[in-house]
Structures are given as structure tokens and as C-alpha cells.
Amino acid sequence: MNGTPMLRFGEALVVFEGPARINWRTARQGEWAPDGIWPEQTLRALLADHIDSGSPLLVVLDEARDTVPVLREEWERAPYPVRAALAGAHTLARTETDEAGARPATEHARTDAPCAEFGGCAGHGEIIEVRVPFLDWLPEPVRARAAAFLAESDETLARTPTALLPPLLLEDPRPQPQHTAPHVRFARRLLPGALTTARLAAAVRHIFGHRQPHREETAPRYGGTAVAC
């Protein structure tokens, strides 16, 4: 269940935003649990360098809003920071009060905190619905562009028959006043099964032009394994 939501094609990176960013680990007796959220700190710094250098990046957003069903027992095995991030919490620490006033909660209390503590995940009984933090690895102005594209593309999808839609809906390439980092582009896969890795490579070459070689690289330079389209 582990891999990376990232592909590399020449100079360009393609990242699939959404549930694929959750890393899972297996413990004893094959028990699974969310163990981290891509990208980890070192890779986050490399991605920032990639963006700052002006290198091309395509972010695919069709699953960005999807929730992830997690068994309650899997949730309880997850590290506290992972649970807090998936639940949308902004504060990781709780406080307890004693005679001396407020003090940090014990580590035991923090790791045993239920989902309801965060107020950001839904679900009842044995299933909890969580969501990956939206593009938290991108600078805020670029993230705002992505949110605007999602809203605009929703309108496009609502008024366009499915038969007339392309396999990959791309953000309008025309420069806008709010367009920071124009080398970062956003897209939605409308027909995921029709977009093979080879077709995605061809799309990347077309989007970013002569900077891309004709041979795609499905093994990302930053480690991990490729994901299927």
C-alpha cells in the first residue's frame, strides 16, 4: 500500500493529489495503519527547490476532495501527528488543568485522543472518513490557484456532456493576474482509465514543450515507486 503519488518525466514532475498521499504501514499480524503523509520533510524541501527553480510541475486534482475510509482500529494505531493532519486539526497539543493551572497533556493522553477531539473527520461506528490536507506542500498563492481551478472546472463539468469532455482537463494556460509560478499547472483526469502512463508522458511533453525529452521516466528521482494512471 506504499509508494509515491509522484511521477517524473524528464525535468517535469507529476503529482497526484489526494488519498494516494497517505503512507500505510503494516504491524503485527498484518494490521495496517496510516503512518505518514507524503511528502515527508526532506522531500518537501526538494519539491520547494524544484518549484523555486522554475522546473515544470503538473498537479492532478481529480481525487483531491476524496475522503479515505479508515477502520477505527487502524485510526487508533496511527501516530498522533498523522491523525491530527488527516482530521484537519491546527493544534496538536491538548492541555490538562491541575492545581498549578494549565499544563501540556501527557504523551499517553495525546496518542489516545479520539477522532472527535479534532472535529475534522466524519463517520460513525467502525469507519472514520478522513481527508488529506489540500496541497499543504505547495505555497499558499499556488494553492489558491488550484482551488479556483477546481471551482471553475466544476462549472465546466456541470454544463458539458461527458462524451465531449477530454480525458485530461487542463487549467486555462492564459496568464492571469493571480498566476504565480506559471510553471506549476493543474489538471483533472476525467477518464482515468484512458490516461495511461505513456499518454500522460505525451501530455506532459505537450504542456511544457521542448524542455521534456521523448522518453518518459516512471521511476521518480526522489525515490519511491511510480503510480498507475
Taking the C-alpha atoms of residue 150 and residue 135, their distance in angstroms, rounded to an integer, is 12
DSSP letter for 173, please. -
In tens digits, the chain (229 residues) has pLDDT values of 557 899 999 999 999 999 999 999 886 677 888 999 999 999 999 999 999 999 999 999 999 999 999 999 899 889 999 998 998 743 333 333 334 433 333 333 333 344 554 444 555 568 889 999 999 999 999 999 999 999 999 999 999 998 899 999 999 866 565 567 889 999 999 987 778 899 999 999 999 985 544 344 433 333 332 333 3
Longest CA pairwise span in the chain (Å): 69
Burial class of residue 217 in the structure, from the number of CB atoms within 10 Å of its CB (0-12 exposed, 13-18 middle, 19+ buried): middle
pLDDT recorded at residue 4: 85
β 57-60/12-16 pair status: parallel
This prediction's pTM: 0.76
pLDDT recorded at residue 193: 79
pLDDT recorded at residue 191: 82
Q: Specify the residue for cell string 485530461.
A: 168
Taking the C-alpha atoms of residue 74 and residue 11, their distance in angstroms, rounded to an integer, is 38
With H, G, I as helix, E, B as strand and everything else as coil, classify residue 63.
Answer: coil
